[in-house]
Structure 1
Amino acid sequence: MVEFSEFMLRTLFAGACGLLVGLDREAKNKPLGAHAYILVALGSAALMSVTLNFSLSAVANEQDMIVDPSRLMQGIVGGIGFLGAGAIMNSNDSKRLRGVGSGAAIWAAGTIGIACGLGYLAEAAFLAAVIFAILNLHDWFERKAGDA
C-alpha cells in the first residue's frame, strides 16, 4: 500500500518535475503553460498511486479478483494525447505544423507522473532533466542554424 505521506511525496515530486518542463514552455510562450505540465504530471502520479492502492486492497479483499494496474498507464497515455493534439492544432497559414514539441512534452510529463506514482522518483527526475535539456538544446541549435 502507498501510505498517505508517500502519496503526497510522489504527487508533489511529480508536480515539481512537471514544473521544470513547464517553465521552459512558459518562458517560450508555447501553447501549453507551466500549469498544464504540473497538473498532468501530478494527476498522473495521483492516479497511479490510487490505482496501486485500489488494486492491492481489492485483491486482498477478494482473492478471485484480477486487477491489472498497468492498464491505467494506457489510459493516461491515450488521454494526454488529446491535450497534445490540442497544442498542435492551430489556425495559422504557414503550412508548417506547430506545437508538436509542446504536444510531445505534455505526453512526456505524463510519463514523469506515471513514474512518480509507481515510486520511481529518481527515474522521474532524470526524465524531467533530460526533457528540459532536449527542449533547450533544440532551441540552441535552431538559433545557431539561424546565425549561420
Structure 2
Amino acid sequence: MNGLEDFFWQHDIYFRIVVSAVLGFVIGWDRSAKNKPAGLKTYTYVSVACTLITIVSIEGAEMLSQPDSGKMMDPFRLAAQIVSGLGFLGAGVILKDGLRVKGLTSAAMIFYVGGVGIGIGAGFYSIVIFATLVTFIMTRIGNFFEEREIKAMSLPKMRKKNEEKDEQ
C-alpha cells in the first residue's frame, strides 16, 4: 500500500471502533436507564470487543492468506467463536426467581450488541446503523403496547379492590 491508502485504511479501522463504541454505549444507556443488569459499560465493551476481534480476524486472514499457493484463511472463523462467548455472557444475566425468569431481554441485547460489533468490524456501517435504528423504533413501539396491556390487565384488579373497599 502507498501512504494515502495506509492513511485511509488505518482511519477506517479507527472509525469502526468509534462507531462500535458509540452504538454499544447508546444501547447500554437505554438499558442503564431502565436499571437492567447489564448497562453502559457492558454493552460498550461487548460491542468494541466484537469489533476488534472481527477486525483482527479479517485483517489477519488477509495478511496470512497466500492466494498464489492456494492457502486461504477463513476470516469469519473467529466471529463464530464470538457468538459462543456471547451465549456465555448472556447466560450470566439470566436469573430465575421462583416461576419468574428475569434478564432475557438483557441476554438478547448482549447477543444483539455482539452482532453490532461484528457488523461494524466487518465494515457494514449502513446495515448495522439501520438495524439499530429499526430495533430501537420497534422496541419503543413494543414498550407502548406492553405498558398498555399491563394497564388494561390491572384495571379489573383495581376495580375489584375498590369494590371490596366500598363493601366494607
The TM-score with structure 1 as length reference comes to 0.89
Select 1:127's aligned residue among 131, 154, 160.
131
1:4 aligns with 2:5: no
* Alpha-carbon distance in 2 for matches of 1:121, 1:104: 21
Select 1:51's aligned residue among 48, 57, 61.
57
Higher relative contact order (CA 8 A, sep 6+): 1
Q: Write out per-residue CA displacement over residues 19-56 of structure 1, whole angstroms, 9 at most, x where no aligned residue.
A: 22111111001110111111111111111111111111
In structure 1, the gaps of 5 or more residues are none
Superposed CA RMSD in Å reads 2.0
In structure 2, the gaps of 5 or more residues are 1-5, 153-168
1:108 aligns with 2:102: no
1:141 aligns with 2:122: no
Write the letter of the residue equivalent to 2:111.
W
Q: How does 1:11-26 map to 2 (within 5 A)?
A: 11-26=17-32
1:117 aligns with 2:121: yes
Identity among equivalent positions (%) equals 30
Give the structure 2 partner of residue 69 of structure 1.
75
How many residues end up aligned between the 2 structures?
A: 146
* Alpha-carbon distance in 2 for matches of 1:118, 1:109: 14
Shift of 1:136: 2.8
The worse-fitting range, judged by mean Cα deviation, of 135-144 and 47-56 is 135-144
Select 1:31's aligned residue among 25, 33, 37.
37
Write the letter of the residue equivalent to 1:147.
K
**Could you say which structure has the larger radius of gyration?**
2
Matched-pair contact (CA < 8 Å) for 1:20–1:128: no
Write the letter of the residue equivalent to 1:108.
Y
The TM-score with structure 2 as length reference comes to 0.79
